[in-house]
């Protein structure tokens, strides 16, 4: 294969016009002849840059409202010609076809279009590029002889090579070709993803109880950042974002302060935000190793902050926090108190004086990461992916709070509104703790959690031990049914006054009897919340 290929003739057809005029002007100064059509030609001519009209060269006009411009043998022959094949060169000469040494193409803004609210099907379909991907694939395939630019970020490197060497070397062209194939793969993936989501939504509308899962599911991801390492220092890691996912979310959050986020920070920020994002009142969560060790809701955000941090003060040291309201100065003052240490905080926003406090007062002020989400809606129905060996599990994401209309009062004194609200808070918290999960809550604060134990009774004992004296008159939630009444015995001894659980055990009658005997109120939700 040849090494350096001189660039004497270029074809330019782009949707994204950033930097195009400067690039084309530099090519013209180097004597490169340029061909273009449609909006690209008009843009360059408006900038005073001379280009040849594609239609004039091919002898075939643009048609079908611009759907056909570059789909012509005189274009693709010039791109796909192998310069070291005499028969290819003779074919070009016989048909009056010119060689193109440089192709500059990027595609219709399909992803940006479908990300806009209210976009209709026909509007999205018109943004599916046909000629662009064909040009890209042809030039990328023939990269031995053709240089290809698919992003404005590549213009400077190509122009430097033209100015200094007259053209590009093989290594540079291979790099550009690889980027081009990634570009078209992501583009096609975005289209496939849009079709899958639209069809699934239509099917779901027909059968609300069973949302449709598409037969194929393209994962259209783009690397956003290289991380220092993964869960451990010997593991390489990176952060990827879903292409076209423009709405406010964790991965699009703006970092206001602090050092680079680690792999574990990202995981804990996600877990922290999931705990509080749907709670209607101001709420704060405290995450350690992907499990909540504290959480609280209160109309006064500073009070919620204090109660959340006091849920398990020892575990809260070096934790990650989430707020579902803009963080204020009073809450920042709570975190800046002595003997506290916070790794990262995520919130819809941060008051200026809160940022000032957090970045000037605590010992950890220089390192704490402050992540601003912006205006974020509660979680909507979505899909959750989990990687397993050789593939993925996909399940429907739990959306919003559970409705309590089907909850069944099966034991103990009747519920008052305050106790029902306490149980609702506990039931929301337990679904964010790893199974087997038990939480103890009081005054809408998480006092103790038992997570990830092989035995449910072990989780009960851990949660009660963490809560200590705060278990008196507290409530307890379990993510799945109690298989035996022994957990109720432990809860009663600790002073628990009410329990919420799914029910459904063969020994439900024994568990209910244990609650009746000890005057403990119990609710069955009929719905479990395993989190593996």
Q: pLDDT digit string (tens) for 503-527?
A: 999 999 999 999 999 999 999 998 8
Tell me phi and psi for residue 132, to 5 degrees: -60, -55
Q: What is the mean pLDDT of the chain?
A: 86
Question: Residues 141, 175, 245, 365: which is the catalytic one?
Answer: 141
Would residue 363 show up in a list of annotated catalytic residues for this protein? no
* Range of the structural domain that residue 50 is part of: 5-191
pLDDT for residue 59: 62
**Nearest to residue 411, comparing CAs of 492, 509, 529?**
509
Q: How far apart are CA 313 and CA 517, in angstroms?
A: 34
Q: Are residues 413 and 466 in the same domain?
A: yes
Q: Are residues 9 and 119 in the same domain?
A: yes
Does residue 220 lie within any of the structural domains? no
Q: How far apart are CA 262 and CA 343, in angstroms?
A: 10
Contacts of 209 (CB under 8 A, 6+ apart): none
pLDDT for residue 299: 95
What are the tokens at 312?
């398990």
Q: Are residues 60 and 161 in the same domain?
A: yes
Contact 270, 317 (CB under 8 A): no
Name all contacts of 109-116 with Cβ < 8 Å and 24+ positions apart: 109/15, 109/16, 110/187, 110/190, 110/191, 110/194, 111/187, 111/190, 111/243, 111/244, 112/244, 112/246, 114/190, 114/194, 114/244, 115/244, 115/245, 115/246, 115/247
Strand partners, 13: 105
Does residue 395 lie within any of the structural domains? no
Binning pLDDT at 50, 70 and 90, where does residue 405 land? confident
Does residue 299 lie within any of the structural domains? yes
What are the tokens at 378?
């509660």
* 3-class SS of residue 453: coil
Does residue 366 lie within any of the structural domains? yes
**Nearest to residue 103, comparing CAs of 39, 149, 167, 48?**
149
Q: How far apart are CA 365 and CA 330, in angstroms?
A: 16
Q: Are residues 16 and 88 in the same domain?
A: yes
In angstroms, how far is CA 227 from the centroid of its own chain? 16
The pTM for the full model equals 0.76
**Residues, the chain:** 532
pLDDT for residue 1: 47
The label of the residue with tokens 């790794």 reads: 343
Binning pLDDT at 50, 70 and 90, where does residue 226 land? very high
Among 140, 164, 191, where does a domain finish?
191
**Nearest to residue 187, comparing CAs of 275, 296, 108, 293?**
108
In angstroms, how far is CA 334 from the centroid of its own chain? 30
Contact 221, 243 (CB under 8 A): yes
Q: How far apart are CA 276 and CA 280, in angstroms?
A: 9
Q: How far apart are CA 452 and CA 455, in angstroms?
A: 9
Q: Are residues 162 and 292 in the same domain?
A: no
pLDDT for residue 358: 96
Does residue 356 lie within any of the structural domains? yes
* 3-class SS of residue 208: coil
Strand partners, 34: 10
Element at 288 (helix H, strand E): strand 283-288
**Nearest to residue 331, comparing CAs of 363, 289, 298?**
298
Does residue 297 lie within any of the structural domains? yes
Q: Are residues 437 and 313 in the same domain?
A: no
SS3 per-residue string spanning 404-445:
CCCCEEEECCCCCHHHHHHHHHHHHHHCCCCCCCEEEECCCE
In order of 70, 88, 109, 490, 498, the CA distances from 99 in angstroms are 14, 11, 28, 83, 80
Does residue 531 lie within any of the structural domains? no
Task: Give percent of the chain with pLDDT exceeding 90.
Answer: 44
In angstroms, how far is CA 4 from the centroid of its own chain? 41
Which CATH number does the domain housing residue 90 bear?
3.40.50.1380
Among 174, 191, 208, where does a domain finish?
191
Contacts of 472 (CB under 8 A, 6+ apart): 494, 495
Q: Are residues 35 and 146 in the same domain?
A: yes
The label of the residue with tokens 């090579």 reads: 161
Q: Return the percent helix, strand and coil in the chain, to nearest 5.
A: 40, 20, 40
Q: Are residues 357 and 497 in the same domain?
A: no
Handedness of CA 97, 98, 103, 108 (dihedral sign): negative
Does residue 139 lie within any of the structural domains? yes
Q: How far apart are CA 39 and CA 530, in angstroms?
A: 55
Question: Residues 99, 259, 289, 489: which is the catalytic one?
Answer: 289
Q: Are residues 364 and 426 in the same domain?
A: no
Q: Are residues 342 and 418 in the same domain?
A: no
> DSSP characters for 49-90?
---EEHHHHHT---BTTTTBSS-SHHHHHHHH--TT-HHHHH
Where is pLDDT greater, at 221 or 311? 311
Q: Are residues 13 and 93 in the same domain?
A: yes
pLDDT for residue 149: 87
Contact 105, 135 (CB under 8 A): yes
Q: Are residues 171 and 277 in the same domain?
A: no
Would residue 99 show up in a list of annotated catalytic residues for this protein? no
* 3-class SS of residue 438: strand
Q: What is the pLDDT of residues 239-274, one digit of tens each?
A: 998 776 667 788 889 999 999 999 999 999 999 999
Mean pLDDT of 487-492: 93
Where is pLDDT greater, at 84 or 487? 487
What are the tokens at 477?
């939630």
Which CATH number does the domain housing residue 415 bear?
3.40.140.20
pLDDT for residue 235: 94
Element at 19 (helix H, strand E): none
What are the tokens at 358?
């957090």
Among 372, 388, 419, where does a domain finish?
372
Domain count within the chain: 3
């Amino acid at each position: 294969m040849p090494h350096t290929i001189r660039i004497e003739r270029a074809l330019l057809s782009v949707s994204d016009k950033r930097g195009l005029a400067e690039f084309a002007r530099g090519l013209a100064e180097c004597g490169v002849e340029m061909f273009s059509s449609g909006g690209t030609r008009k843009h360059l001519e408006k900038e005073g840059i001379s280009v040849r009209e594609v239609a004039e060269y091919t002898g075939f006009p643009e048609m079908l409202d611009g759907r056909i411009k570059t789909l012509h043998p005189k274009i693709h022959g010039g791109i796909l010609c192998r310069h070291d094949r005499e028969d290819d060169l003779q074919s070009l000469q016989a048909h009056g076809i010119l060689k193109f040494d440089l192709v500059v193409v990027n595609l219709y803004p399909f992803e940006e279009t479908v990300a806009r609210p209210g976009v209709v099907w026909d509007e999205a379909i018109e943004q599916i590029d046909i000629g662009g991907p064909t040009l890209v694939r042809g030039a990328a395939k023939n990269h031995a002889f053709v240089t290809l630019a698919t992003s404005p970020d590549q213009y400077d490197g190509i122009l430097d090579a033209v100015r200094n060497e007259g053209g590009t070397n093989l290594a540079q062209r291979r790099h550009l070709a690889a980027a081009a194939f990634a570009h078209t793969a992501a583009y096609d993936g975005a289209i496939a993803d849009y079709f899958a989501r639209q069809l699934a939504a239509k099917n779901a509308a027909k059968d609300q109880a069973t949302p449709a899962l598409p037969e194929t599911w393209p994962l259209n991801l783009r690397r956003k950042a290289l991380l220092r390492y993964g869960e451990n220092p010997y593991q390489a890691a990176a952060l990827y974002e879903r292409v076209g996912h423009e709405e406010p979310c964790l991965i699009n959050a703006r970092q206001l302060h602090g050092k680079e986020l680690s792999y574990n920070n990202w995981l804990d920020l996600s877990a922290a935000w999931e705990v509080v994002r749907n709670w209607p009142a101001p709420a704060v969560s405290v995450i350690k190793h992907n499990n909540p060790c504290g959480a609280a809701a209160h109309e006064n955000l500073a009070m919620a902050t204090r109660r959340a941090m006091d849920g398990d003060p020892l575990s809260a040291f070096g934790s990650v926090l989430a707020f579902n309201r803009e963080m204020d100065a009073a809450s920042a003052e709570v975190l800046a108190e002595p003997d506290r240490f916070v790794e990262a905080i995520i919130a819809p926003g941060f008051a200026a004086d809160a940022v000032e406090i957090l970045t000037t007062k605590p010992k950890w002020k220089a390192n704490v990461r402050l992540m601003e989400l912006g205006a974020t809606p509660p979680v909507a129905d979505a899909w959750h992916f989990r990687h397993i060996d050789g593939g993925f599990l996909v399940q429907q994401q739990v959306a919003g709070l559970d409705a309590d209309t089907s909850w069944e009062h099966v034991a103990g004194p009747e519920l008052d509104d305050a106790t029902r609200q306490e149980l609702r808070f506990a039931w929301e918290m337990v679904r964010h703790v790893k199974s087997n999960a038990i939480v103890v809550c009081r005054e809408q604060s998480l006092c103790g959690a038992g997570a990830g134990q092989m035995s449910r009774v072990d989780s009960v004992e851990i949660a009660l031990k963490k809560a200590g004296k705060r278990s008196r008159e507290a409530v307890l939630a379990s993510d799945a049914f109690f298989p035996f009444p022994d957990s109720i015995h432990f809860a009663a001894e600790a002073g628990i006054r009410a329990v919420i659980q799914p029910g459904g055990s063969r020994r439900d009658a024994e568990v209910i009897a244990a609650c009746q005997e000890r005057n403990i109120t119990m609710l069955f939700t009929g719905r479990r919340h395993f989190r593996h």
